[in-house]
Structure 1
Amino acid sequence: MEKIYFVGAGPGDEELISLKGYRLLKRADIVIFAGSLVNPKLLDYCKEDCQIYDSSVLYLEEIIEIMRDGAKKDKIVVRLQTGDVSIYGSIREQAEELKKIGIDYESVAGISSFLGAAASLGIEYTVPEISQSLIITRLEGRTPVPKLEKLELLAEHKTSMAIFLSVQNIEKVVEKLLEGAYEENTPIAVVYKATWEDEKIVMGTLNDITQKVKNSEISKTALILVGDFLGDKYNYSKLYSKYFSHEYRDAIYNRNK
Structure 2
Amino acid sequence: MTTPEPQSPSPQPSAPVSKDRVYRSPAGIAGGVLVLALALWLGIDALVAGEGNTRWKALAALVFLVPLVAAYTVRPAVFANEDRLRVRNPFRVIVLPWAEVESFRSAYSNEVFAEDGAKYQLWSIPVSLRGRKKAARQEDRRAAGDTGRRRGGLFGGPGQLGSAAAVTDGPVRAQGDKTMDELRELWEARKDAAGSKGDVTVRWAYEIVVPVLAGAVALAVLLGVG
* Larger RCO of the pair (alpha carbons < 8 Å, separation 6+): 2
Q: Larger Cα Rg: Structure 1 or Structure 2?
A: 2
TM-score category (smaller protein)? under 0.3
